[in-house]
A and B are shown apart, each in its own frame.
Chain A
Amino acid sequence: MKDKGKLLMLLMIGSETFFFIALIIGYVYYRNFTEATDTVAQHLDAVRAGIFTLFLIASSGTLMISKRALNKENFKGFNIFLLLSIVLGIVFITGQVTEYIGLYQEQITLSKDVFGSSFFTLTGFHGFHVILGVLALLILLIMSLGKLRRVSIAGFGGVEVYWHFVDVVWLFVFYFVYITPLL
Protein backbone atom coordinates (compact mmCIF):
# COMPACT_ATOMS: atom_id res chain seq x y z
CA MET A 1 0.00 0.00 0.00
CA LYS A 2 1.45 3.38 -1.02
CA ASP A 3 -0.39 5.67 1.40
CA LYS A 4 1.37 4.89 4.68
CA GLY A 5 -0.64 7.44 6.69
CA LYS A 6 -3.88 5.71 5.83
CA LEU A 7 -2.30 2.32 6.42
CA LEU A 8 -1.16 3.39 9.88
CA MET A 9 -4.62 4.68 10.67
CA LEU A 10 -6.26 1.47 9.46
CA LEU A 11 -3.99 -0.59 11.68
CA MET A 12 -4.61 1.69 14.64
CA ILE A 13 -8.32 1.40 14.04
CA GLY A 14 -7.97 -2.36 14.06
CA SER A 15 -6.26 -2.04 17.41
CA GLU A 16 -8.86 0.40 18.77
CA THR A 17 -11.57 -2.01 17.67
CA PHE A 18 -10.27 -4.53 20.18
CA PHE A 19 -10.30 -1.81 22.85
CA PHE A 20 -13.96 -1.03 22.23
CA ILE A 21 -14.84 -4.71 21.91
CA ALA A 22 -13.39 -5.15 25.40
CA LEU A 23 -15.45 -2.26 26.81
CA ILE A 24 -18.62 -3.48 25.11
CA ILE A 25 -17.97 -7.01 26.38
CA GLY A 26 -17.79 -5.51 29.86
CA TYR A 27 -21.21 -3.91 29.47
CA VAL A 28 -22.81 -7.00 27.91
CA TYR A 29 -21.20 -9.20 30.57
CA TYR A 30 -22.78 -7.29 33.43
CA ARG A 31 -26.17 -7.08 31.79
CA ASN A 32 -26.50 -10.57 30.35
CA PHE A 33 -24.19 -12.82 32.33
CA THR A 34 -24.97 -11.68 35.86
CA GLU A 35 -28.24 -11.60 37.73
CA ALA A 36 -28.29 -7.84 38.07
CA THR A 37 -30.87 -5.73 36.24
CA ASP A 38 -29.68 -2.81 34.18
CA THR A 39 -30.38 0.31 36.24
CA VAL A 40 -29.19 2.81 33.67
CA ALA A 41 -31.17 1.62 30.66
CA GLN A 42 -34.54 2.75 32.06
CA HIS A 43 -33.26 6.31 32.34
CA LEU A 44 -31.96 6.46 28.79
CA ASP A 45 -33.83 8.21 26.03
CA ALA A 46 -33.19 6.16 22.92
CA VAL A 47 -35.07 8.55 20.62
CA ARG A 48 -33.00 11.52 21.71
CA ALA A 49 -29.77 9.54 21.38
CA GLY A 50 -30.99 8.32 18.00
CA ILE A 51 -31.35 11.89 16.77
CA PHE A 52 -27.82 12.72 17.85
CA THR A 53 -26.67 9.51 16.16
CA LEU A 54 -28.08 10.91 12.91
CA PHE A 55 -25.94 14.02 13.39
CA LEU A 56 -22.84 11.88 13.71
CA ILE A 57 -23.71 9.81 10.64
CA ALA A 58 -24.40 13.01 8.71
CA SER A 59 -20.96 14.31 9.66
CA SER A 60 -19.42 11.22 8.06
CA GLY A 61 -21.41 11.98 4.94
CA THR A 62 -20.32 15.62 4.79
CA LEU A 63 -16.73 14.55 5.30
CA MET A 64 -17.02 12.26 2.28
CA ILE A 65 -18.38 15.15 0.22
CA SER A 66 -15.53 17.38 1.33
CA LYS A 67 -13.06 14.67 0.35
CA ARG A 68 -14.57 14.57 -3.10
CA ALA A 69 -14.21 18.36 -3.28
CA LEU A 70 -10.57 18.09 -2.24
CA ASN A 71 -9.87 15.56 -4.97
CA LYS A 72 -11.35 18.00 -7.48
CA GLU A 73 -9.22 20.81 -5.93
CA ASN A 74 -12.38 22.68 -5.02
CA PHE A 75 -11.02 24.23 -1.82
CA LYS A 76 -14.05 26.32 -1.05
CA GLY A 77 -16.33 23.30 -1.08
CA PHE A 78 -13.76 21.37 0.89
CA ASN A 79 -13.61 24.00 3.64
CA ILE A 80 -17.36 24.39 3.86
CA PHE A 81 -18.09 20.69 4.18
CA LEU A 82 -15.16 20.15 6.55
CA LEU A 83 -16.54 22.92 8.76
CA LEU A 84 -19.98 21.32 8.55
CA SER A 85 -18.54 17.98 9.69
CA ILE A 86 -16.87 19.68 12.64
CA VAL A 87 -20.09 21.44 13.61
CA LEU A 88 -22.05 18.17 13.37
CA GLY A 89 -19.42 16.47 15.52
CA ILE A 90 -19.66 19.24 18.10
CA VAL A 91 -23.45 18.92 18.09
CA PHE A 92 -23.06 15.23 18.88
CA ILE A 93 -20.69 15.97 21.75
CA THR A 94 -23.07 18.62 23.09
CA GLY A 95 -25.84 16.04 22.99
CA GLN A 96 -23.72 13.65 25.00
CA VAL A 97 -22.73 16.26 27.55
CA THR A 98 -26.33 17.37 28.12
CA GLU A 99 -27.32 13.73 28.45
CA TYR A 100 -24.65 13.22 31.12
CA ILE A 101 -25.86 16.31 32.99
CA GLY A 102 -29.43 15.00 32.87
CA LEU A 103 -28.36 11.60 34.18
CA TYR A 104 -26.34 13.11 37.01
CA GLN A 105 -29.38 15.14 38.02
CA GLU A 106 -31.29 11.87 38.27
CA GLN A 107 -28.50 10.50 40.51
CA ILE A 108 -27.23 8.15 37.82
CA THR A 109 -23.49 8.49 38.34
CA LEU A 110 -20.27 6.73 37.55
CA SER A 111 -20.03 5.42 41.09
CA LYS A 112 -23.71 4.48 41.51
CA ASP A 113 -23.38 0.86 40.48
CA VAL A 114 -21.75 -1.34 37.89
CA PHE A 115 -24.09 -0.19 35.12
CA GLY A 116 -23.35 3.46 35.82
CA SER A 117 -19.66 2.60 35.68
CA SER A 118 -19.94 0.75 32.37
CA PHE A 119 -22.26 3.29 30.76
CA PHE A 120 -20.09 6.29 31.50
CA THR A 121 -16.86 4.46 30.71
CA LEU A 122 -18.04 3.13 27.36
CA THR A 123 -19.78 6.26 26.12
CA GLY A 124 -17.12 8.44 27.72
CA PHE A 125 -14.29 6.73 25.86
CA HIS A 126 -16.28 7.02 22.67
CA GLY A 127 -16.92 10.71 23.34
CA PHE A 128 -13.22 11.18 23.99
CA HIS A 129 -12.49 9.67 20.57
CA VAL A 130 -15.04 12.00 18.95
CA ILE A 131 -13.37 14.99 20.60
CA LEU A 132 -9.97 13.85 19.30
CA GLY A 133 -11.49 13.47 15.84
CA VAL A 134 -12.99 16.97 15.99
CA LEU A 135 -9.60 18.36 17.01
CA ALA A 136 -7.91 16.56 14.11
CA LEU A 137 -10.51 17.93 11.69
CA LEU A 138 -10.05 21.42 13.16
CA ILE A 139 -6.31 21.20 12.59
CA LEU A 140 -6.95 20.23 8.97
CA LEU A 141 -9.37 23.13 8.58
CA ILE A 142 -6.94 25.65 10.07
CA MET A 143 -4.18 24.33 7.85
CA SER A 144 -6.30 24.65 4.74
CA LEU A 145 -7.52 28.16 5.74
CA GLY A 146 -4.04 29.40 6.57
CA LYS A 147 -0.97 29.67 4.44
CA LEU A 148 -0.82 25.94 3.80
CA ARG A 149 -3.50 25.91 1.18
CA ARG A 150 -3.05 22.33 0.18
CA VAL A 151 -3.94 19.92 2.90
CA SER A 152 -1.84 16.84 2.31
CA ILE A 153 -4.06 14.10 0.97
CA ALA A 154 -2.29 11.55 3.19
CA GLY A 155 -3.16 13.45 6.35
CA PHE A 156 -6.72 13.87 5.26
CA GLY A 157 -6.99 10.19 4.30
CA GLY A 158 -5.96 9.14 7.80
CA VAL A 159 -8.29 11.52 9.61
CA GLU A 160 -11.17 10.58 7.35
CA VAL A 161 -10.77 6.86 8.06
CA TYR A 162 -10.57 7.64 11.77
CA TRP A 163 -13.74 9.73 11.67
CA HIS A 164 -15.70 6.97 9.94
CA PHE A 165 -14.39 4.53 12.50
CA VAL A 166 -15.63 6.69 15.37
CA ASP A 167 -18.97 6.77 13.62
CA VAL A 168 -19.19 3.00 13.21
CA VAL A 169 -18.15 2.40 16.81
CA TRP A 170 -20.98 4.65 17.92
CA LEU A 171 -23.48 2.57 15.95
CA PHE A 172 -22.39 -0.49 17.92
CA VAL A 173 -22.41 1.39 21.22
CA PHE A 174 -25.85 2.77 20.38
CA TYR A 175 -27.10 -0.73 19.58
CA PHE A 176 -25.77 -2.34 22.73
CA VAL A 177 -26.47 0.45 25.17
CA TYR A 178 -29.70 2.00 23.90
CA ILE A 179 -31.41 -0.55 21.65
CA THR A 180 -30.87 -3.96 23.24
CA PRO A 181 -32.57 -3.03 26.56
CA LEU A 182 -35.68 -2.19 24.51
CA LEU A 183 -35.75 -5.56 22.74
Chain B
Amino acid sequence: MINTDFFITPDNWSFAGIILSVLTIVAYLLFLKTKTSQKAYFIVTVILLYVSFGSPIALLRDYGLHSLTMLQHIVLLMIAPILFLKSIPSNTILFSEKFKLNILQQPKNYFLMFWWLSAVMMWGGHFLSAGILSAETGTAICGITATKDSWITAIPESLILSLLFIAGILFALPVFNPVKSKRLAPLKSVIYLFTACVSCSLLGLYVAFSASTDTLNSSLTAFTTLRSPVPLTLRADQELAGMLMWVPGCILYVLASVSILLSWYEENPVEKSETAIHTAK
Protein backbone atom coordinates (compact mmCIF):
# COMPACT_ATOMS: atom_id res chain seq x y z
CA MET B 1 0.00 0.00 0.00
CA ILE B 2 1.12 3.51 -0.72
CA ASN B 3 1.84 5.40 2.45
CA THR B 4 -0.16 8.61 2.03
CA ASP B 5 1.11 10.11 5.28
CA PHE B 6 4.45 10.55 3.65
CA PHE B 7 2.94 12.86 1.09
CA ILE B 8 0.81 14.83 3.52
CA THR B 9 3.47 15.51 6.14
CA PRO B 10 4.31 19.24 5.82
CA ASP B 11 7.94 18.59 6.74
CA ASN B 12 8.40 16.82 3.46
CA TRP B 13 7.35 19.86 1.44
CA SER B 14 10.23 22.28 1.19
CA PHE B 15 9.12 25.64 2.58
CA ALA B 16 12.03 27.58 1.12
CA GLY B 17 11.13 26.07 -2.24
CA ILE B 18 7.59 27.42 -2.02
CA ILE B 19 8.84 30.91 -1.18
CA LEU B 20 11.33 30.81 -4.02
CA SER B 21 8.72 29.58 -6.48
CA VAL B 22 6.23 32.24 -5.48
CA LEU B 23 8.88 34.93 -5.74
CA THR B 24 9.90 33.72 -9.20
CA ILE B 25 6.32 33.74 -10.39
CA VAL B 26 5.69 37.20 -8.95
CA ALA B 27 8.86 38.52 -10.56
CA TYR B 28 7.85 37.01 -13.88
CA LEU B 29 4.40 38.53 -13.71
CA LEU B 30 5.76 41.93 -12.68
CA PHE B 31 8.64 42.34 -15.08
CA LEU B 32 7.63 40.54 -18.25
CA LYS B 33 4.69 41.45 -20.45
CA THR B 34 3.26 38.20 -21.72
CA LYS B 35 0.08 36.59 -22.95
CA THR B 36 -2.15 34.75 -20.50
CA SER B 37 -1.22 31.40 -22.00
CA GLN B 38 2.45 32.18 -21.51
CA LYS B 39 1.79 33.09 -17.88
CA ALA B 40 0.08 29.76 -17.43
CA TYR B 41 3.02 27.94 -19.05
CA PHE B 42 5.44 29.68 -16.73
CA ILE B 43 3.46 28.90 -13.61
CA VAL B 44 3.22 25.25 -14.61
CA THR B 45 6.97 25.19 -15.28
CA VAL B 46 7.72 26.55 -11.81
CA ILE B 47 5.33 24.10 -10.21
CA LEU B 48 6.95 21.21 -12.08
CA LEU B 49 10.38 22.37 -10.98
CA TYR B 50 9.20 22.64 -7.40
CA VAL B 51 7.68 19.18 -7.54
CA SER B 52 10.89 17.66 -8.85
CA PHE B 53 13.19 19.51 -6.45
CA GLY B 54 11.30 20.26 -3.26
CA SER B 55 8.29 18.00 -2.83
CA PRO B 56 8.03 14.58 -1.14
CA ILE B 57 8.43 13.11 -4.59
CA ALA B 58 12.02 14.36 -4.60
CA LEU B 59 12.53 12.81 -1.19
CA LEU B 60 11.28 9.47 -2.41
CA ARG B 61 14.57 9.19 -4.20
CA ASP B 62 16.21 8.36 -0.89
CA TYR B 63 14.36 5.07 -0.99
CA GLY B 64 16.19 4.12 -4.14
CA LEU B 65 13.30 4.22 -6.54
CA HIS B 66 14.72 4.13 -10.03
CA SER B 67 11.37 4.89 -11.61
CA LEU B 68 11.16 8.06 -9.58
CA THR B 69 14.52 9.30 -10.81
CA MET B 70 13.27 8.62 -14.29
CA LEU B 71 10.11 10.60 -13.65
CA GLN B 72 12.19 13.55 -12.45
CA HIS B 73 14.36 13.26 -15.51
CA ILE B 74 11.38 13.24 -17.87
CA VAL B 75 9.88 16.30 -16.22
CA LEU B 76 13.16 18.21 -16.19
CA LEU B 77 14.48 17.08 -19.55
CA MET B 78 11.38 16.98 -21.66
CA ILE B 79 8.31 18.68 -20.22
CA ALA B 80 9.57 21.66 -18.22
CA PRO B 81 12.00 23.00 -20.87
CA ILE B 82 9.32 23.08 -23.58
CA LEU B 83 6.88 24.87 -21.30
CA PHE B 84 9.62 27.20 -20.15
CA LEU B 85 10.58 28.18 -23.70
CA LYS B 86 6.93 28.69 -24.57
CA SER B 87 6.52 31.04 -21.62
CA ILE B 88 9.45 33.27 -22.53
CA PRO B 89 8.46 36.35 -24.56
CA SER B 90 10.34 36.60 -27.84
CA ASN B 91 11.74 40.03 -27.01
CA THR B 92 13.69 38.78 -24.00
CA ILE B 93 17.27 40.05 -23.98
CA LEU B 94 18.62 36.51 -24.30
CA PHE B 95 17.00 36.03 -27.69
CA SER B 96 17.13 39.59 -29.04
CA GLU B 97 19.67 40.85 -31.53
CA LYS B 98 21.65 42.58 -28.79
CA PHE B 99 22.81 39.33 -27.29
CA LYS B 100 25.78 38.58 -29.51
CA LEU B 101 26.21 34.87 -28.97
CA ASN B 102 25.98 33.15 -32.31
CA ILE B 103 24.77 29.83 -30.93
CA LEU B 104 21.74 31.45 -29.34
CA GLN B 105 21.18 33.70 -32.33
CA GLN B 106 21.07 30.95 -34.92
CA PRO B 107 20.23 27.70 -33.14
CA LYS B 108 19.08 26.35 -36.52
CA ASN B 109 22.65 26.07 -37.72
CA TYR B 110 23.75 24.23 -34.63
CA PHE B 111 20.90 21.80 -34.29
CA LEU B 112 23.12 18.74 -34.74
CA MET B 113 25.35 19.99 -31.97
CA PHE B 114 22.36 20.63 -29.71
CA TRP B 115 21.05 17.15 -30.46
CA TRP B 116 24.29 15.42 -29.61
CA LEU B 117 24.99 17.58 -26.59
CA SER B 118 21.62 16.91 -25.04
CA ALA B 119 21.67 13.22 -26.00
CA VAL B 120 25.05 12.84 -24.28
CA MET B 121 23.81 14.78 -21.27
CA MET B 122 20.67 12.70 -21.12
CA TRP B 123 22.53 9.39 -21.20
CA GLY B 124 25.21 10.71 -18.89
CA GLY B 125 22.65 12.09 -16.46
CA HIS B 126 20.82 8.79 -16.32
CA PHE B 127 24.05 6.92 -15.87
CA LEU B 128 25.22 9.14 -13.02
CA SER B 129 21.83 9.07 -11.32
CA ALA B 130 21.78 5.30 -11.55
CA GLY B 131 25.29 5.19 -10.12
CA ILE B 132 24.37 7.41 -7.19
CA LEU B 133 21.24 5.39 -6.58
CA SER B 134 23.28 2.23 -6.58
CA ALA B 135 25.87 3.69 -4.22
CA GLU B 136 23.20 4.84 -1.79
CA THR B 137 21.06 1.73 -1.73
CA GLY B 138 23.57 -0.98 -2.51
CA THR B 139 21.53 -2.43 -5.35
CA ALA B 140 22.51 -2.85 -8.95
CA ILE B 141 20.66 -0.59 -11.36
CA CYS B 142 20.70 -1.95 -14.92
CA GLY B 143 23.98 -3.64 -14.22
CA ILE B 144 25.48 -0.41 -12.90
CA THR B 145 26.96 -0.88 -9.47
CA ALA B 146 28.79 1.60 -7.29
CA THR B 147 30.13 1.20 -3.80
CA LYS B 148 29.10 3.38 -0.91
CA ASP B 149 32.27 5.47 -0.91
CA SER B 150 32.87 5.73 -4.64
CA TRP B 151 33.57 9.10 -6.25
CA ILE B 152 30.12 9.14 -7.72
CA THR B 153 28.49 9.92 -4.40
CA ALA B 154 30.38 13.23 -4.26
CA ILE B 155 28.19 14.63 -7.05
CA PRO B 156 25.11 16.31 -5.61
CA GLU B 157 21.93 14.99 -7.19
CA SER B 158 20.46 18.47 -7.59
CA LEU B 159 23.44 19.44 -9.75
CA ILE B 160 22.66 16.59 -12.14
CA LEU B 161 19.00 17.55 -12.20
CA SER B 162 19.82 21.20 -12.94
CA LEU B 163 22.17 20.16 -15.72
CA LEU B 164 19.43 17.99 -17.17
CA PHE B 165 17.05 20.95 -17.13
CA ILE B 166 19.62 23.02 -19.01
CA ALA B 167 20.22 20.17 -21.45
CA GLY B 168 16.49 19.98 -21.98
CA ILE B 169 16.33 23.69 -22.79
CA LEU B 170 19.22 23.38 -25.21
CA PHE B 171 17.57 20.42 -26.87
CA ALA B 172 14.22 22.18 -27.24
CA LEU B 173 15.77 25.46 -28.42
CA PRO B 174 15.95 24.70 -32.17
CA VAL B 175 12.32 23.57 -32.23
CA PHE B 176 10.64 25.77 -29.63
CA ASN B 177 12.71 28.93 -29.89
CA PRO B 178 10.60 31.87 -28.65
CA VAL B 179 11.51 33.70 -31.86
CA LYS B 180 9.55 31.95 -34.60
CA SER B 181 11.94 32.74 -37.43
CA LYS B 182 14.77 31.05 -35.60
CA ARG B 183 13.05 27.68 -35.39
CA LEU B 184 13.85 24.69 -37.55
CA ALA B 185 11.54 24.09 -40.51
CA PRO B 186 8.48 22.07 -39.42
CA LEU B 187 9.40 18.81 -41.14
CA LYS B 188 12.96 19.06 -39.89
CA SER B 189 11.61 19.60 -36.38
CA VAL B 190 9.59 16.42 -36.67
CA ILE B 191 12.66 14.46 -37.75
CA TYR B 192 14.69 16.12 -34.97
CA LEU B 193 12.15 15.03 -32.38
CA PHE B 194 11.73 11.59 -33.92
CA THR B 195 15.43 10.78 -33.82
CA ALA B 196 15.44 11.85 -30.18
CA CYS B 197 12.54 9.45 -29.69
CA VAL B 198 14.61 6.59 -31.10
CA SER B 199 17.47 7.30 -28.74
CA CYS B 200 15.00 7.59 -25.86
CA SER B 201 13.28 4.36 -26.85
CA LEU B 202 16.52 2.41 -26.96
CA LEU B 203 17.50 3.46 -23.45
CA GLY B 204 13.97 2.90 -22.19
CA LEU B 205 13.86 -0.56 -23.72
CA TYR B 206 17.23 -1.42 -22.29
CA VAL B 207 16.21 -0.34 -18.83
CA ALA B 208 12.86 -2.13 -18.99
CA PHE B 209 14.07 -5.42 -20.42
CA SER B 210 17.28 -5.68 -18.43
CA ALA B 211 15.09 -5.86 -15.34
CA SER B 212 14.83 -9.63 -15.60
CA THR B 213 18.53 -10.32 -15.32
CA ASP B 214 20.30 -12.32 -12.69
CA THR B 215 22.00 -9.26 -11.21
CA LEU B 216 18.63 -8.26 -9.88
CA ASN B 217 17.55 -11.68 -8.73
CA SER B 218 20.64 -12.03 -6.62
CA SER B 219 20.23 -8.65 -4.95
CA LEU B 220 17.86 -7.97 -2.13
CA THR B 221 14.50 -8.13 -3.80
CA ALA B 222 12.50 -6.79 -0.90
CA PHE B 223 14.92 -4.02 -0.08
CA THR B 224 13.01 -1.09 -1.47
CA THR B 225 9.68 -2.69 -0.90
CA LEU B 226 9.64 -2.61 2.87
CA ARG B 227 10.58 0.92 3.76
CA SER B 228 9.45 2.91 0.75
CA PRO B 229 6.21 4.87 0.94
CA VAL B 230 5.56 3.60 -2.58
CA PRO B 231 6.25 -0.12 -2.33
CA LEU B 232 7.51 -1.67 -5.53
CA THR B 233 9.64 -4.70 -6.13
CA LEU B 234 12.99 -3.95 -7.69
CA ARG B 235 11.93 -5.53 -10.92
CA ALA B 236 8.64 -3.64 -11.18
CA ASP B 237 10.47 -0.45 -10.23
CA GLN B 238 13.00 -0.81 -12.97
CA GLU B 239 10.49 -1.84 -15.60
CA LEU B 240 8.38 1.12 -14.63
CA ALA B 241 11.43 3.33 -15.07
CA GLY B 242 12.13 2.00 -18.53
CA MET B 243 8.55 2.16 -19.69
CA LEU B 244 8.13 5.69 -18.28
CA MET B 245 11.13 6.81 -20.21
CA TRP B 246 9.84 5.21 -23.36
CA VAL B 247 6.09 5.51 -23.63
CA PRO B 248 5.13 8.89 -22.11
CA GLY B 249 8.41 10.36 -23.33
CA CYS B 250 7.74 9.38 -26.92
CA ILE B 251 4.09 10.30 -26.77
CA LEU B 252 5.09 13.77 -25.63
CA TYR B 253 7.25 14.20 -28.72
CA VAL B 254 4.57 12.72 -30.94
CA LEU B 255 2.14 15.31 -29.61
CA ALA B 256 4.69 18.06 -30.16
CA SER B 257 5.28 16.85 -33.74
CA VAL B 258 1.57 16.71 -34.47
CA SER B 259 0.98 20.21 -33.13
CA ILE B 260 3.87 21.56 -35.22
CA LEU B 261 2.47 19.86 -38.33
CA LEU B 262 -1.08 21.05 -37.72
CA SER B 263 -0.03 24.66 -37.96
CA TRP B 264 2.31 23.89 -40.88
CA TYR B 265 -0.44 22.48 -43.13
CA GLU B 266 -2.24 25.80 -43.18
CA GLU B 267 0.92 27.81 -43.67
CA ASN B 268 0.88 30.16 -46.64
CA PRO B 269 4.10 32.03 -47.42
CA VAL B 270 2.26 34.61 -49.57
CA GLU B 271 -0.12 35.48 -46.80
CA LYS B 272 2.70 35.46 -44.29
CA SER B 273 4.82 37.91 -46.25
CA GLU B 274 1.77 40.10 -46.81
CA THR B 275 1.06 40.32 -43.11
CA ALA B 276 4.74 40.98 -42.54
CA ILE B 277 4.57 43.94 -44.90
CA HIS B 278 1.39 45.03 -43.21
CA THR B 279 2.92 45.03 -39.75
CA ALA B 280 6.02 46.78 -41.08
CA LYS B 281 3.86 49.66 -42.22
In the complex the two chains form, is B214's CB within 8 Å of A32's CB?
no
Which label, helix, strand, loop or mixed, suits the secondary structure of the B interface?
Answer: helix
Which residues of chain A are within 8 angstroms of B143 by Cβ–Cβ distance? 32
Q: Give the Cβ gap from A32 to chain B, nearest Cβ, in Å.
A: 6
In the complex the two chains form, is A32's CB within 8 Å of B202's CB?
no
B7, CB-defined interface residue at 8 Å: no
In the complex the two chains form, is A33's CB within 8 Å of B213's CB?
yes
Q: Give the Cβ gap from B190 to chain A, nearest Cβ, in Å.
A: 14
Task: Give A9-50 as 1s and 0s: 1 = Cβ < 8 Å from B's Cβ atoms.
Answer: 000000000000100000011001111000000000000000
Complex Cα spacing A34 to B213, Å: 6
Which residues of chain A are within 8 angstroms of B214 by Cβ–Cβ distance? 35
Complex Cα spacing A21 to B214, Å: 24
Task: Give B172-204 as 1s and 0s: 1 = Cβ < 8 Å from A's Cβ atoms.
Answer: 000000000000000000000000000000100
Complex Cα spacing A34 to B212, Å: 8
Which residues of chain B are within 8 angstroms of A21 by Cβ–Cβ distance? 202
In the complex the two chains form, is B210's CB within 8 Å of A33's CB?
yes
In the complex the two chains form, is A33's CB within 8 Å of B209's CB?
yes
Q: Give the Cβ gap from B44 to chain A, nearest Cβ, in Å.
A: 35
Task: Give B95-132 as 1s and 0s: 1 = Cβ < 8 Å from A's Cβ atoms.
Answer: 00000000000000000000000000000000000000
For chain A, residues 59 to 115, give those with C-beta under 8 angstroms from any C-beta of chain B.
Answer: none
Complex Cα spacing A103 to B202, Å: 31
Complex Cα spacing A29 to B213, Å: 10
Complex Cα spacing A35 to B143, Å: 13
For chain B, residues 210 to 260, give those with C-beta under 8 angstroms from any C-beta of chain A.
Answer: 210, 212-214
Complex Cα spacing A35 to B202, Å: 21
Which residues of chain B are within 8 angstroms of A34 by Cβ–Cβ distance? 213
Complex Cα spacing A68 to B68, Å: 51
Which residues of chain B are within 8 angstroms of A35 by Cβ–Cβ distance? 213-214
Which residues of chain A are within 8 angstroms of B209 by Cβ–Cβ distance? 29, 33
Q: Give the Cβ gap from B238 to chain A, nearest Cβ, in Å.
A: 12
Residue of B nearest to A24 (CB): B202
Q: Give the Cβ gap from B217 to chain A, nearest Cβ, in Å.
A: 9
Complex Cα spacing A34 to B210, Å: 9
Q: Give the Cβ gap from B185 to chain A, nearest Cβ, in Å.
A: 12
Q: Give the Cβ gap from B143 to chain A, nearest Cβ, in Å.
A: 6
Residue of A nearest to B191 (CB): A14
Complex Cα spacing A35 to B210, Å: 11
Complex Cα spacing A43 to B210, Å: 25
Q: Give the Cβ gap from B253 to chain A, nearest Cβ, in Å.
A: 17
For chain B, residues 122 to 156, give those with C-beta under 8 angstroms from any C-beta of chain A.
Answer: 143
Instruction: Identify the interface centre among A21, A28, A33, A34: most chain B CB within 10 Å of its CB.
Output: A33
In the complex the two chains form, is B212's CB within 8 Å of A33's CB?
yes
Residue of B nearest to A21 (CB): B202
3 closest cross-chain pairs (CB), A and B: A35-B214, A32-B210, A33-B213
Known: A21-B202, A33-B210, A35-B213. 10 other contacts (CB 8 A): A28-B206, A29-B209, A32-B143, A32-B210, A32-B213, A33-B209, A33-B212, A33-B213, A34-B213, A35-B214
A-B contact pairs, 13 of them (CB 8 A): A21-B202, A28-B206, A29-B209, A32-B143, A32-B210, A32-B213, A33-B209, A33-B210, A33-B212, A33-B213, A34-B213, A35-B213, A35-B214
Hey, which bits of chain B sit against chain A, CB under 8 A?
Answer: 143, 202, 206, 209-210, 212-214
Hey, which bits of chain A sit against chain B, CB under 8 A?
Answer: 21, 28-29, 32-35
